[in-house]
Amino acid sequence: MRQKITYISITNFFTESGAYYPNLKLSYQLTGSDSSDAPIVLVNHALTGNSEVTGENGWWKSLIGDGKCIDTHHFKILSFDIPGNGFLADETSLINNYKDFVARDIAKIFLRGLEQLKINQLFAAIGGSLGGGIAWEMAVLEPNLIQNLIPIASDWKSSDWLIANCFLQERILENSSNPIEDARIHAMLCYRTPFSFKVKFQRTRNHEKDIFNTESWLLHHGEKLQKRYQLAAYKLMNQLLKTIDITRGRESLEKIVAPISGNIHIVSINTDLFFSPDEDRETITRLKNIKANVYHDEIQSIHGHDAFLIEYEQLSQLLRNIFQVQKSSI
């Protein structure tokens, strides 16, 4: 078992907008089975995530690990850091011209990374939220690469509602005197639901601060992100979230998804206010007309979008068949 941060240089990269980057640093972590023929699972992180997906500090450690749903005894786990995500707290790796990039650029960078690692087949590409959108973009760019495409609490495009919220996030990040904290407070209202707040707080007060506990909780999340995140990283990730669209500059959804050879497993959250399950149901209806190997499941939760980071037991049950089939054949 091993887990360390390694680097790849992506040279002479042109973004979709035409911006030129002579050298981008792509960091990644590779962990799991030491077997040379172990199937590889690519895990794409979300807006404030990073390549540390398993282990003591892993943000998906309840899903990925020894004996977990995605068992690191059987699978190699690969995760890239989106360039500019600020994980390594290295100012030189931040991207200040965030509008140079769209989600498809990150998919292309990840594919360049796979090429350098001499990986031409993925058992699965899985990601929540932004990470799922990037996985969609990768599948369209390389239709035979991914055996199981698994976008969770995500979509193949940014909806009008998502774009609107990203627009407000951008306004806060550009104009607030306390941008990271204020933007995070707004974002938490998108990631959870009114009923989740009701169950958690019951209109109780923090008497020490003389504010409602719901306000105290939001302030805590804002302050917590402020301590570990950079403004440039937040601006870039928000831009990427706003620009997911596998059909941009191409033909219809049906025509560009048809060549994807692998299974498509879409996982929604029934209360997601950010990536609406209604959008996923519409996608499934359209894709069922052209592909037999398209599947849809829903996590049932009061917690909204954040359920992909909370409802591990449900998520494990929904995904277990995908990964158990592979384990049984090893």
> Which CATH number belongs to the domain containing residue 280 in this structure?
3.40.50.1820
Q: What is the rounded average pLDDT of the residues 25-43?
A: 95
Is 1 a residue whose pLDDT tops 50? no
Q: Among the three residues 239, 263, 279, which one is the final residue of a domain in this structure?
A: 239
Q: Tell me: pLDDT of 306 over 90.
A: yes
Q: What pLDDT, on a 0 to 100 scale, did the predictor assign at position 2?
A: 41
How far apart are alpha carbons 273 and 91 in whole angstroms? 33
Specify whether 212 is located in the same domain as 154. Answer: no
End residue of a domain, out of 192, 215, 239: 239
User: Any idea what DSSP says for residue 177?
Assistant: S
Average pLDDT, the chain: 95
What pLDDT was estimated at residue 326?
Answer: 55
Residue 329 has pLDDT above 70, yes or no: no
pLDDT tens digit sequence for 166-198: 999 999 999 999 999 999 999 999 999 999 999
Whether 120 and 227 share a structural domain: no
Residue 170 or 326, more confident: 170
Question: How confident is the model at residue 80, as a pLDDT?
Answer: 98
Q: What percent of the chain has pLDDT over 90?
A: 94
Q: Rounded to two decimals, what is the model's pTM?
A: 0.95
Q: Is the dihedral of CA 297, 302, 307, 311 positive or negative?
A: negative
pLDDT at 88: 75
CATH number at residue 194: 1.10.1740.110
CA angle 306, 152, 316 (to 5 degrees): 85
CA-angle at 247, arms to 243 and 253, nearest 5°: 135
